[in-house]
Amino acid sequence: MLKGKKIVLGITGSIAAYKACLIIRELVKAGAEVQVVITPAGKEFITPITLSALTQKPVISDFFSQRDGTWHSHVALGLWADAMLIAPCTASTLGKMANGIADNMLITTYLSMKAPVFVAPAMDLDMYAHPTTQQNLERLRSFGNQIIEPQSGFLASGLEGKGRMEEPEVIVDCINRFFESKETLSGKQIMITAGPTYEKIDPVRFIGNYSSGKMGFALAEECARRGAEVTLIAGPVALQTTHPRIHRIDVESCEEMYQAATSHFKTSNAAILCAAVADFKAERIATEKIKREEDDLVLRLQPTHDIAAQLGKQKQQHQVLVGFALETNDEQANAQHKLERKNLDFIVLNSLRNEGTCFQSDENQISIISKTGQKDFGKKSKHEVAADIVDELAKLL
């Protein structure tokens, strides 16, 4: 899939810069044309002569390489490329990308890029784990960038931990798979629910849960990236969408999500029900704030709509319905029962026993259960998990 593709490779000032040679070799072997853009700090780790020999192209580092008026156009590079890969990408470059600080040729090229951008971070474990770095990564994801997660291993500092740039062959495979899957869902209408629902008790209080919506939003981005028109029905979350093929509907309660889901499912080829919908709501919503007049407050609750079960009844032969199960015990048995009872094509199982996954986390660990069997996956970023789920969906569509 890389044959004939034009790739801009950005290299920054990291000890992992030597691996850029291996990335170039893999891309060129696959038939791609590679143009290197390197930061001044990157040239301290690897020479432009080496990179130019591998790409058969002059390496671009500065805006002006001559004194004769010629200059390198970052705009032209942004129009030329089929993809941009920044590997290795330092914490400094991540920060500049996330905040639009265009003080070198690489960042101006990134800001002008019309093609998909892949980012392979490389840094020491404490730098990678720092809240600022994580916030910058999440912001870049929200812009539509593809983050190729670093791995845990032995680092240049002598320490061990997460921050080691992913291996070159894996990075190139990520780009190859992107082009393979780019339009696999073209023409499909996919509905996705995401986030929590809030069920009011009074004007200032509600029944809710800890869902951040990250998994559902990652699924929406992945489906849109593969060519689908996505209707994203989102509960109250603080996330943003950027892809033009995502049509967002914001709701608050289960009732609102139910009305939107049952309406839009009729014209959908598939639905992924990722939202953590509250199972109960207050029987009576107080019109004024409930005062603390007694030590005990008794709330009478009643069930909310079972959206998955209702869509399972509505489902036509040409439609695919995917559910989620978050369990704390007897995970497989509970998920299997839900699969059958709600007429799902497959169900994504999460367990709260897997630490660092599920609510609020940037990572997840899932099993996909269908009528034909079960697939178990390791712990990954939610964006990688989304790709695994959409792979299964694409097979059915």
Active site residues: 209
Q: How far apart are CA 228 and CA 219, in angstroms?
A: 11
Q: For tokens 């007897």, what's the residue? A: 330
Angle at 5 between CA 168 and CA 163, to 5 degrees: 25
Q: How far apart are CA 288 and CA 216, in angstroms?
A: 34
Q: How far apart are CA 389 and CA 188, in angstroms?
A: 16
Q: What is the SS3 assignment for 139?
A: helix
Q: Which stretches within the chain are classed as H helix?
A: 19-29, 48-55, 74-80, 91-99, 105-112, 125-129, 131-142, 168-181, 214-225, 254-265, 307-314, 331-341, 382-396
Task: Retrieve residue 247's tokens.
Answer: 């049509």
Q: How far apart are CA 397 and CA 393, in angstroms?
A: 6
Give the CA-trace dihedral at 77, 81, 87, 93, to 10 degrees. Answer: 40
Angle at 175 between CA 172 and CA 177, to 5 degrees: 110
Q: For tokens 């009478």, what's the residue? A: 300
Q: How far apart are CA 167 and CA 169, in angstroms?
A: 6
Q: How far apart are CA 85 and CA 49, in angstroms?
A: 20
Q: How far apart are CA 155 and CA 203, in angstroms?
A: 52
From first CA to last CA, the distance across the chain in angstroms is 22
